[in-house]
Structure 1
Amino acid sequence: MSISLKQMLEGATAIPYSDTLIAILKTTSLTYKDDNKFERVDELIVGFVTGSIPNKFKSHIEKAMEEQGFQEIPTDDVFVRLAQYVVLDTILNNEDELAQTICASKLMNYMLVAKALKRSIPNRSYLLQVYDYHLSKYLEKVDKVTEDTQTELRSEVPNADFPLEISEDKAKDLCLVFKEAELYRVERLLTSDKIQNIENPFVRIYVGLCEMFDRLAYHLYNVDLNRIIGLLIGNKDERKRKKLSKIIEELTQTNCEFRNNCSQTAVILLMIKGEEQGAVGDLILPIKEFAVYLYYELLTEKILATQN
């Protein structure tokens, strides 16, 4: 997908940059590397959303400009847009579909911070395109196992003489049986007394989702998120809302932890780990919105863990 850096930089400088300088900035920005491609995306997402650009990225750009004989000093707004350009290019022009959806989901997860800061983010038209690559869209495409389909395999599996070697068609049927078994286990977990007896609905959501992802052997099923959230919230709690800092406080008071490493863009998980996230704590979140953000943070981190 074509992304115009010239267009993205419009309004960021008093005097528009020349096409030559823009070409240099484009090449230089895209050669910015980190040992971990996802960590690079993380730091640049945090940078352009908060306006606090990593010094390493600034130095990389300034060095290239000096070497090419340009004396201009980029403004903070220029650096913000360059960081944004790298993130958007990584998402919109990524040939690796799973990496593409991970990066897109990281950006969408971090929109919680943009919401809290109420800070103007440039080039929103490009940002809107990112949603097409979010995990929710990716799962719709890759999960081809259709539920509620009758198969002969259902009657064959219980037999003692069920063959260990099966045909390709039967293998597809087995995928269906396994998926339905996994989703049944999830539903039993979420409706169990262990989860349902947790009085605080925000704590119930956190514990239920964490246990669900720990138990799932495969994380790329296109599950019915509305149903999962409905099972965890119930009718009596669906209208609840609370300041995020208060939710985190209640989670920590009930000994909820997140011990795994997580991304800079996993805002709620970082807060649970005790890392301050500034104004985000002042956000008042409806319980369903909290559940959706948490679900996709946990899912993104689980998928990332399988990539390492």
Structure 2
Amino acid sequence: MSIWLLGLAVTLVTGAAATAYLWLVRRPSDEMSYGLHALSGLRWREFSKLVLAAMAGRGLVETGPDPQESREPQTTFLLARGQEKWLLSCKHGSAYRIAAAPVQELAASIRLGAASGGILATEGKVEKEGREAAQGNNIELLDGPRLWPEVRHLVEPSLREQIVTYASARAKRHVGISWLGAVTLGALAMAGWAGRQAADTSVDARPAAPAPARTISAPATPAPQEAFREPTQEELEAQMRSVLQALSKTPGITRGVWQTKLTLSIDRAGSENDIWPSICLELERYPALRATRVQLNPPPGSSEPVRWRQCKTM
């Protein structure tokens, strides 16, 4: 076999295999991860409406007196499909780790309400104990990997486009890195084959010793960028406290309150243009808080409207 054909074959096979894996496996996985992270930044009402819309696509429509009229956080909804009644329980937050207790509570509500079954939806994860508790109670568990396909097409188009673009850009970057690695492997295969041919030639050669095979120097493969790591609940709470402590010392800001994990309310006494750089400086210290939605409340007595801003998008 020609040494150049060997190198080309190794490069093409390795590069194609890596490209297929990164684009067909890793890219959808990254898109789901970024999508769930974005969902955790929604307010409880926005998240529950999204899940209810997904259930309506199944034919399960919210029923009961004045649905969605309550201003208080609502986590359980009564759904109907024909004569069947179903209970939907929403656990909002990617930090949720559902054990047996919430599933057993939903099972009890199903029995008391004479419902046909129940659905538990969360961006978090249902632990083994929760899955075992759901068995035999006709409860469907829609945790992170199962929830995202249900709501993906219902997410706001601009946000969905950001998620898809971010995942695709990361996949393309890693595909480029993988092809550099494939070229390196092809060069190493060529060098190894050349060395083997030189060794075979030396056995059959006359007394004159053959020249040693030259090793082809291959470029080093750049290390892939570190993937985004979701902080633990304790780490996220510590980061949120750190942001509030720093902003409490910022002139022009009277108070800061976290309404949700990715929604920060700021009461300001100064100009919005003066305090905004300080807010972004603190939020951008932490990757998990960069996309925080900031509610800027006007000074007391001012006729200015409440404004929503965001330092970074996904």
TM range (shorter): under 0.3
Q: What is the TM-score when the length of structure 1 is the normalising length?
A: 0.22
Could you say which structure has the higher helix fraction? 1
Q: What is the TM-score when the length of structure 2 is the normalising length?
A: 0.22
